[in-house]
Structure 1
């Protein structure tokens, strides 16, 4: 079992987004808060490829699930 810990920056890089601290903060501020009834992968700001990646990571790859959950929580906070 792979017990890797992934960082926000790695997830942003996987999503093809700028992954430095400033860019991550700006992304979160621009897209928060995400409505409670919207699933993370269904948010309107993802490309189809990003949405698919998020769905696959949360469902099929447990070592990425934690950081995807953290992204989900961060996007629920007021920007």
Structure 2
């Protein structure tokens, strides 16, 4: 069993981003996804972040729920 938490703050930390509540809120306020744009294809990710998001989501990895949540938040 994987004891690691895979929530939004953990996802942001995994992506190398600040993961406190204020930083998450600021990121979501300052970024958005238009219809038809995949999360991993957004221009605000670096290559490593985009690859992590793409592969984790594709493989239905433990990060999938947090990635889906981020996708939804960036489309609101």
Higher mean alpha-carbon deviation, 39-48 vs 4-13, is at 4-13
Aligned length: 76
Quote the Cα distance in structure 2 between the aligned partners of 1:51 and 1:35. Answer: 16
Aligned positions of 1:61-72 closer than 5 A:
61-72=60-71
What SS is found at the alignment partner of 1:49? helix
The unaligned stretches of length 5 or more in structure 1 are none
Runs of 4+ in 1 over 6 A off after TM superposition: none
Question: Which structure shows the bigger proportion of residues in helix conformation?
Answer: 1
Give the aligned partner of residue 56 of structure 2.
Answer: 57
Quote the Cα distance in structure 1 between the aligned partners of 2:63 and 2:71. Answer: 12
TM-score, scaled relative to structure 1: 0.86
The unaligned stretches of length 5 or more in structure 2 are none
Please give the root-mean-square deviation of Cα atoms over the aligned residues, in Å.
1.7
Quote the Cα distance in structure 1 between the aligned partners of 2:69 and 2:3. Answer: 17
